[in-house]
Every structure is written in structure tokens, then in C-alpha cells.
Amino acid sequence: MLLNLANAGNSVGRAGRYLGQTLRLMVGVPDYDGYLAHMKLNHPDLPAMSYAEFFRNRQDARYGGKGRIGCC
């Protein structure tokens, strides 16, 4: 019984992390931990951006970068 409670706690923890990630992505906060995991797995020879660099990169990608005026 105790083992089942531990498994249930792990499931709740995973669900909470997934929900948090989903909510952050919905409001436009990028997933830096996911980016780091991707870089480590797929590009181990390249340096990863700092959080500030990553955040700026994602904001520029979302809103069109520097110098953009208006929507078109």
C-alpha cells in the first residue's frame, strides 16, 4: 500500500510539472529546461544560451525582433 502511495505521488508530481509547463507556454513564457535538455541531447558540441539570451531569443521570435513597427 505504501508503494502505491509513492507511485501516486510521483504521478501527481509529473502532472503538476506538465501543467505548469503548459500554463507557462500558454502565456508565452518559454521552456528553458526543455531547451537545455534538447541542446544536451541533440547538440552536445554547441554551447547553450543563458536564460537571458534564451528568453530574448524567444521573445524576438514571437514578436518579430527588434525594429519591428506594427503588425504587418
Q: pLDDT tens digits for 3-23?
A: 565 666 678 888 888 888 788
Task: Please give the residue that has the higher pLDDT: either 71 or 52.
Answer: 52
Instruction: Note the pTM of the prediction, 2 decimals.
Output: 0.57
Ramachandran sector of residue 20 (left: φ over 0; alpha: ψ -120 to 50; beta: rest) = alpha
Show the cell assigned to 55. 528568453
* Per-residue confidence band for 71, with pLDDT thresholds at 50, 70 and 90: very low
CA pseudo-torsion sign 38, 32, 15, 28:
negative
Per domain, the residue ranges of the chain are: 1-28, 31-64
CA 62 to chain centre: 14
Assess whether pLDDT exceeds 90 at residue 72: no
Q: What single letter denotes the amino acid at residue 41? A: L
